[in-house]
Structure 1
């Protein structure tokens, strides 16, 4: 039996247990609907990455967000 595996990486900055549960349910629903996979054989893993370990645009994520917020102000 083929068992789908989904790995979601998010910044560790406050996703709630409820939000994570919604991600898990949503990814499972997509695999059931699109690929006709069994929800009982679908694995979803959420990895939370510290902001200083995530880079965007050549900057650590927290710095990137600070600069983007300053430009938006």
Structure 2
């Protein structure tokens, strides 16, 4: 039973986009690993941008800085 956890920032990810992610990842597991779609689980976690960081910086601050330019 495959389980895939997708984490994205909480920046306007639509239900349609989430459905596309779920369908696309499920299809990859079916095609590549020959898994059954009915036993494949996909979970999408939306992380607040204040809880996301990269390059030693908080993403919300990096984004704010970019928007100010």
Question: Could you tell me the TM-score, scaled by structure 1's length?
Answer: 0.85
Counterpart position of 1:65: 63
The Cα of 1:57 is off from its aligned counterpart by 1.1
Counterpart position of 1:29: 27
Q: Is the partner of 2:44 in helix, strand or coil? A: strand
CA RMSD between the two structures:
1.5
Structure 1 unaligned segments of length 5 or more: list them.
Answer: none
Question: Could you tell me the TM-score, scaled by structure 2's length?
Answer: 0.90
Equivalenced residue count is 69
Structure 2 unaligned segments of length 5 or more: list them.
Answer: none
Structure 1 runs, 4 residues or longer, greater than 6 Å off: none
Q: Is the partner of 1:9 in helix, strand or coil? A: strand
* 1:28–1:42 Cα contact (<8 Å) kept: yes
> 2 CA distance for matches of 1:62 and 1:21?
26
